[in-house]
Amino acid sequence: MDSTDEVIIERRGSAGIIRLNRPKALNSLTLPMVRVIASVLDEFGADPAIASVIVMGEGERGFCAGGDIRLLHQSGKEGSDGAETFWREEFRLNHAISRYPKPYVVLMDGITMGGGVGLSSHGSHRVVTERTRLAMPETGIGYFPDVGATWLLPRAPGEAGTWMGLTGLAVGAADAIHAGLADCCVASPALPALVEAIAALPASASAEDVRALIRTMAVDAGESRLAVNRDVIDRAFAGDTVEEILQALAGEPGEFVAETAGVIAGRSPTSLKLTLRLLRAGRTSANLAECLNRELGACMGILYNHDFYEGVRAAVIDKDRNPKWSPASLSQVRPGDIDRFFVAAQPPLFTT
């Protein structure tokens, strides 16, 4: 079985366990990690002694903070094929998770962002905790929600997914469940017992057996802020342009609306327009594969986009949190600026 210091593989009873092991980097994904996870999932899937797979992150701060954005930034600057290779293999892994033949139990404890959402929310048994902070924060770094998020977010109730995609704000357990990105909440101190209980199931255990077991340990996730504010979210985010959404927000009262509008105002104008267009395209797409193909094409465009390099610089490299977007305003982003992200990547990831 493949292994690396960055991924710990274990067999325990009837469970195959995959532990992301870059806690100092919040378990951010590298290409070797993606390759190990994909290989191990194939092996566990073919092993009759394995009833289910459990995926978790090492350390107490997070499950997975996403892809290693520094490496993608460096690849783009150098003009190497590293970023494209990473995205292709990561997206194939996301698709494989969505179709995995055995219960795929993911413990989304702590920070679960970007690529971490791709590793988790496509799975069949998605567990959050009181420490979960889930987000697709890409509009804040000149990027867009990828890893199949343009399939997942449009399927959240009402316009909750549009709110998540444009603001990039982190949400907790209740909101993740409300948005359809998680299934139930288990208290973080109970996770070791949950792992042991799943591992103790017989090799013949079904997906429903695993689901029923998780339910016995589930706790109330509390109140969902997205659910409480659903009416205003649905009204304000129904527009098909970012300008319409901001205009609608301006006509709504309340602290939640003010916070939302303020956050969007600080995001990359290009990323906002690209994200909304991708989300609306995802709403009418036939399947996840179609969205992943479209996202890969947009990824290739991102490598030639100023805001990606500026956003990563401000957030990750210099950490001054003061990106200088170009174009600097929504009104300066022309339709053609967004059209160029919709050139299909060749070869496509999937034939749909």
The residue to which tokens 């092991």 are assigned: 21
Q: Which helix (H) or strand (E) holds 213?
A: helix 207-216
Q: What is the CA radius of gyration of the chain?
A: 20
Beta carbons within 10 angstroms of residue 207's beta carbon:
16
DSSP of 182-200: --EE--GGGHHHHHHHHHT
Residues belonging to the active site: 67, 115, 138, 146
65 vs 320: CA distance, rounded Å: 20
Q: Which helix (H) or strand (E) holds 12?
A: strand 7-12
DSSP of 27-75: T-B-HHHHHHHHHHHHHHHH-TT--EEEEEESSSSEEE--B-HHHHHHH
Which DSSP category does 130 fall into? T
